[in-house]
Amino acid sequence: MASPTPRQIEAAYAAARERYAALGVDTEQALARLRGVALSLHCWQGDDVTGFEAPERPLSGGIAATGNYPGKARTADELRRDLDQAYRLIPGRHRLNLHAIYAETGGRRVERNQLAPEHFAGWLAWAREQGHGIDFNPTCFSHPLADAGFTLASPDPAIRQFWIEHCIACRRIGEHFGRELGTPCITNIWIPDGFKDTPVDRLAPRQRLQESLDQILAVPIDPRYNRDAVESKLFGIGSESYVVGSHEFYLGYAVRRRVLLCLDSGHFHPTESIADKISAVLLALDELLLHISRGVRWDSDHVVTLNDETLAILQEVVRCDALERVHLGLDFFDASINRVAAWVIGARNVLRALLIALLEPTARLRAAEQASDYTTRLALLEELKGMPWQAVWDYHCLQQDVPVGAAYLDEIRAYEASELAARG
């Protein structure tokens, strides 16, 4: 697709810079802050959450990827090539979010509670070479010991112990990533535990989950290299009536244990925004993890678009002056479109929303609000909707040497023809 010339982009940016300066906004300062943000791209978009442990095993735990677009990654090397292509089309330097089922075991069967750093040596070498930090996740789904719908909250002590050991192993792997790459790994625990129908005893499963988490976190891990996070959910397939790890459970647990809380924008009621929760959580916790997704009627993990919800989330982070306290990750999987394009579209939309937020005259808006001048607040917020943020974004892409506008589709189509089509 045709894109404007560098001269046109620079001219449009110069005009936009003047427009924003009239509002008291320094576009160069906004771009400098944007360049310092690293999104954590989720590896599971590239292969529909299959992993390499047992790719023939059907997904479970409320996980579902729909669609059959050709070109799905089948090996770690293919997945890394796809990620390389995506990173080349996203401005900035970003991270990788890796699940435990993406271990490379040389064809040997390794139980999840026996996973060790050596099984991720290929990922570590790639991340070091490409300059990516790595975040990590235990995989507590798509496994025979998760088929009953319970893992860390299972009433079976043996099943519970298996998943406790798996999470401990994952924390050690995360610590290894952080130490070797020089940037802390966030190891995030999410489990699918819950009931399809209304339970009688809501307390006991949560008591078991709390005890399991206590055992996991009791193992000493250097916080300089690994940061622990816990992630809630409202409901899912097979747990429509009750989820053990609810928002209230994990909020209380994170505050008590001083671990990060993960808010996933697809894990709440479809009419509920996580944007309003950010300021409240930041009063209780030092740091916060966000998984930015797009739920449609339920946690369907659609590709992130530049919609009101995405913008509200990033505006709240900026308005709270919390960019250094909030870790931004993506979490969606769409098998109905080009999977590399899904990464690129979602990541660029999060970054565009962040730029729009950074281009607000926050101090001026806050001063009007504190003075009870709600007229000025409303007028400025409405005027901002028509400001030329796109010209600033195009200039950012030009400076970062990535395609401007939809021109990235040309590279994706070429990659599809040369790489993805050969996968059958």
Residue 77 falls in the annotated catalytic set:
no
Question: Beta 294-296 vs 298-302: how paired, if at all?
Answer: antiparallel
Among residues 72, 132, 176, 291, the one annotated as catalytic is: 291
Q: Which residues of 79-98 are buried (b: 16+ CB within 10 A; e: fewer)?
A: bbbbbebbbebbbbbbbbbb
Active-site residue, selected from the candidate residues 72, 132, 233, 247: 233
Catalytic residue, candidates 135, 231, 309, 416: 231
Q: Catalytic: which of 264, 360, 394, 416?
A: 264
Query: Which candidate in 119, 132, 267, 277 is catalytic?
Result: 267
Output the CA torsion sign for 10, 14, 16, 21: positive
| 331 noted as active-site residue | yes
Report CA-CA distances (Å) from 327 to 99, 106, 215, 229, 252.
Answer: 17, 33, 25, 11, 20
Choosing from 301, 309, 360, 394, the catalytic residue is 301
| CA distance linking residue 407 with residue 409, whole number of Å | 5
Query: Locate tokens 């940037």: which residue?
Result: 183
Q: Which of 47, 53, 135, 299 is catalytic?
A: 299
**Structure tokens given for 83:** 């990620």
From 126, 163, 190, 343, the catalytic residue: 190
Reading the block at residue 304, the tokens are: 């992130």
Is residue 267 annotated as part of the catalytic site, yes or no? yes
Q: Which of 361, 353, 403 is nearest to 381 (CA)?
A: 361
The answer to whether 190 is a known catalytic residue is yes
Establish whether 214 is a catalytic residue: no
277 part of the active site: no
- If phi > 0 it is left, if psi is from -120 to 50 it is alpha, else beta; for residue 258 that is left
- 8-state DSSP, 184: P
Angle between helices 76-88 and 121-130 (to 10 degrees): 20
Catalytic residue check, 118: no
Helix (H) or strand (E) holding 407: none
**Active-site residue (options: 228, 331, 360, 394):** 331
Q: Is 291 a catalytic residue?
A: yes
Distance separating alpha carbons of residues 407 and 89, to the nearest angstrom: 10
3-state secondary structure of 211: helix
* 299 in catalytic set: yes
Catalytic residues: 190, 231, 233, 264, 267, 291, 299, 301, 331
